[in-house]
Amino acid sequence: MSETVVVIGHGMVGHRFVEALRARDVDGGWRVVVLGEETDPAYDRVGLSGYVGSWERAELALAGNRYDGDDAVELRVGDAVVAIDRDRRVVRTASGAEIAYDALVMATGSRAFVPPVPGHETPGCHVYRTLDDLDAIRADAERALARDARTAPVGMVVGGGLLGLEAANALRLMGLAPHVVEINPRLMPQQVDAGGGEHLARMIGELGIEVSLSSGTESIEPGDAGVRVTLADGTVVDAALLVFAAGVRPRDELARDCGLAVAERGGILTDERCATSDPSIYAIGEVAAIDGRCYGLVAPGYATAEVVADRLLGGSAVFPGADMSTKLKLLGVDVASFGDALSATPGALDVVVSDPIGGVYAKLVLSDDASTLLGGVLVGDASAYGLLRPLVGSSLPGDPVSLISPAGDAPALGVGALGDDAQICSCNDVSKGTLCAAIADGACDVAALKGCTGAGTSCGSCVPLLSQILAEEGVEQSTALCEHFAQSRAELFETIRACDIRTFSGIVERFGTGTGCDICKPTVASILASIGSGHILDGEQASLQDSNDHFLANIQRNGTYSVVPRMPGGDVTPEQLILIGEIARDFGLYTKITGGQRIDMFGATVDQLPLIWRRLVDAGMESGHAYGKSLRTVKSCVGSDWCRYGQQDSVRMAIDLELRYRGLRSPHKIKMGVSGCARECAEARGKDVGVIATEKGWNLYVGGNGGMTPRHAQLLAGDLDDATLVAYIDRFLMYYIRTAERLQRTAAWLDGLDGGIDRLKAVVVDDVLGLADDFEADMARHVDAYECEWKGVLDDPDKLRRFVSFVNAPGVPDPTVAFGESHGRRVPVLLGSPALPQS
């Protein structure tokens, strides 16, 4: 006869316990009764912000959370346990039901901590913990937005830790202007150090989010906007609502009421077996104070669930300790910490790379002899987290600076540097050796590895490593574009090119599955544009574009746009210069000469864009496509016209190339340069296509780029006449457009091309594929079909209607856009930013 285990709480850890027990209880020795206080079965509380926008609760539901078809599990939700009778071994619920137990598992989790601020119960004050909490916040936000749609109401967040920044992001997604108040001198004080916190605060501030550090909340009272908040420094903020996200406290009240031992700082006191002072009662997750300490992350919570499942079945498992590493994207900013991130180990050495201009901060904490990795902090770029975290406690396989330096001069650290005991998935305690064994047993893709090992099924930060391990083990990887298309981008390009379907809905219905995502939609939009399917804002295509392409301008940090008219080869007339100056003056725009020999005009609001375009187009200028994954510029020197060293007319060639390839949509942006001699004043070898004059003609270089990892272009052919040069560039670009992956620059594409530059020469120069005529014909069609995208909007009333700041209030300017002056330059003033220094 089976025994009964009652589980109080159906959160992520409670659900994990049930899954672990049922998976191991092959003899059916235990019947499980799960009692949940919330009306929703277990859902992904870590991904709570993902509820904002979709407002679909089912999207956060954990797999199998209703235990359909499992007669050994009874789930009751919406009925909280109110008392435990330890003598009778019975729990009583709010509905009056009594359930007897042989073993009891407390998985009650935590509650949000609300500081005892005067007025903390004022209407409009919320916590950020459950789906119901988010619904309540949403209701207040929508009421505030309905009162005045022209401004972004302030949403206060008390707490600048993980939860507080998640809450701030949610408020921003709801249309509010977040203001984060943190009592500590830095954000995320438990995860990042002072340097990382400084970078994080700066980057979040640049997003228009106000941050008040070393500041408490003095009082809260009702206000005209919703709540009036007074900070410790006397600052008064009128906000639509306030969210307390200042930490959590273990929900141990049931344990206290029934006489179980609790820890000094809260939580149900347990030993390493997760057993409480009553041998028939266990505690798991955030409520468990193991040897007096509570752990607030999902990974140690899952570990406790596994321990208790093992113990109920006669095992000897003990709590293995907690990996408190975290990796997440907060407000679009990557943040990660692992191991001894705060340098608490005596004698520890810090290796720091700080790049405030590039927005990257990285710190490695090493042992006193600099040989062993103890921990680290990554802000802005956390791509190294997956490989560095498993190396904690191990010797580093190279110079520590090279591992975190953005220069990237050293060989990249790969999974081959990790031993079999390296923990790849900290949430589910999966080692590299376990993954390799699963691959040997037939797990041949990421989905299979997830299914048989559990790796990557929680926070997901280790998923890229799963792919790398598969490749290291010799398993061929899928080249699928995304979950909706099994084809690679190159395969999808050829498929679309060969068929007559020119809508995303038709393409995904015939060749894919589902409704699409933010990967495949813009990719298909780019493919359709590359093969000449009309204006990018025609019909359904408009909804596929990202924000830049959607408005044919580059969005800037304060929500305004920059306008860049085309200046082929940097060539410009005095009349055009005067016009640009007049436009900048009339619309109050900041002007700057770009590195691509053009003039960028910054600060235009969306409703001003067509007015600016009209004046440019009427004067014979057109879109410079600075916003698109397409040809940006063709830079040139003055060539043989003016320079005494010039060997060919580089200006004329640059103009011809830019006019030929303007508007050509591609997997990534394309830049070109034409130099009139080997002195290379146009820096052509740093471009995707570089042309350098010789005495006999032109040398053609391809595959260069600047950026974080600069690359010199490689010589494809030399001493070419004009016609041959253009033909080879046609072939190169069309070959790249057809075969490159999504968002892959020509440098990376050429690196990945089997055979490299020799293979490219064979295709472009020797035409080994027999596609030269096809490539050139495709380019000729592009040249013949080109039309200025700005003019296409100006000539179409339906497209013009998109260009308003507020759809429900056309003609109303955006009141959140403001400008100031710094050192003589016009600059944006972000919402809530401090006063700018004046020149």
pLDDT tens-digit series, residues 295-337: 988 889 999 999 999 999 999 999 988 877 787 766 667 888 8
Look at residue 150 in the predicted model and tell me its pLDDT.
67
CA 13 to chain centre: 26
| For residues 133-142, average pLDDT | 94
What pLDDT is attached to residue 411? 43
Give dist(CA 456, CA 18) in Å, integer. Answer: 19
What pLDDT shows up at residue 111? 94
Among residues of the chain, what percentage have pLDDT more than 70? Answer: 94
Of 52-61, 740-749, 750-759, give the range with the top mean pLDDT.
Answer: 740-749
Q: How confident is the model at residue 551 (pLDDT cuts 50, 70, 90)?
A: confident
Does an H or E element contain 511, and which? helix 504-511
Q: Between 105 and 801, where is the model more confident? A: 105
Q: What is the pLDDT of residues 229-287, one digit of tens each?
A: 999 999 999 999 999 999 899 999 999 999 999 999 999 999 999 999 999 999 999 99
The per-residue pLDDT of the chain, averaged, comes to 88
Position 149 scores a pLDDT of: 60
Residue 357 has pLDDT above 90, yes or no: no
Architecture of domain 629-785: 2-Layer Sandwich (3.30)
pLDDT for position 409: 42
pLDDT at 120 > cutoff 60: yes
pLDDT of 535 over the 60 cut: yes
Closest CA to 227 of 324, 301, 118: 118
Q: Is the pLDDT reported for residue 347 higher than 80?
A: yes
pLDDT for residue 835 is more than 60: no
Instruction: Determine phi and psi for 532, rounding to 5 degrees.
Output: 80, 65
The pLDDT-based confidence of 838 (bands split at 50, 70, 90) is very low
Q: For 125-246, which CATH class?
A: alpha beta
Residue 575 has what pLDDT?
A: 95
Intervals of CATH 3.50.50.60 along the chain: 3-110+250-312, 125-246
The span from the CA of 797 to the CA of 495, in Å, is: 33
Q: Is pLDDT of 816 > 70? A: no
Mean pLDDT of 511-521: 87
Per-residue pLDDT, 839: 37
Pair 226, 140: CB distance under 8 Å: yes
Q: Which CATH number fits domain 3-110+250-312: 3.40.190.10, 3.40.47.10, 3.50.50.60, 3.30.420.40?
A: 3.50.50.60
Listed in order, the ranges of the chain carrying CATH 3.30.413.10 are: 629-785
Pairing of strands 236-239, 293-294: unpaired
643 is in an annotated binding site: yes
Please tell me whether 681 is known to bind a ligand: yes
| Span 408-421, pLDDT tens digits | 444 455 677 677 87
- Reply yes or no on whether the pLDDT at 721 is more than 70: yes
User: Residues spanned by CATH 1.10.10.1100 within the chain?
Assistant: 426-477
Q: For the residues 211-239, what does the mean pLDDT come to?
A: 94
What residue ranges in 136-270 does DSSP mark as E strands?
154-158, 177-181, 210-212, 217-222, 227-231, 236-239, 241-244, 248-250, 268-270
Which of the residue ranges 214-223, 418-427, 490-499, 700-709 would you say has the lowest mean pLDDT? 418-427
Q: Let me know: does 77 contact 41? Beta carbons within 8 Å.
A: yes
**What pLDDT is recorded for position 836?**
44
Residue with tokens 């109110």: 82
The SS3 call for residue 799 is: helix
- The answer for 393, left when phi > 0, alpha when psi is -120 to 50, beta otherwise, is left
CATH number of 426-477: 1.10.10.1100
For residue 400, pLDDT over 90 is answered with no
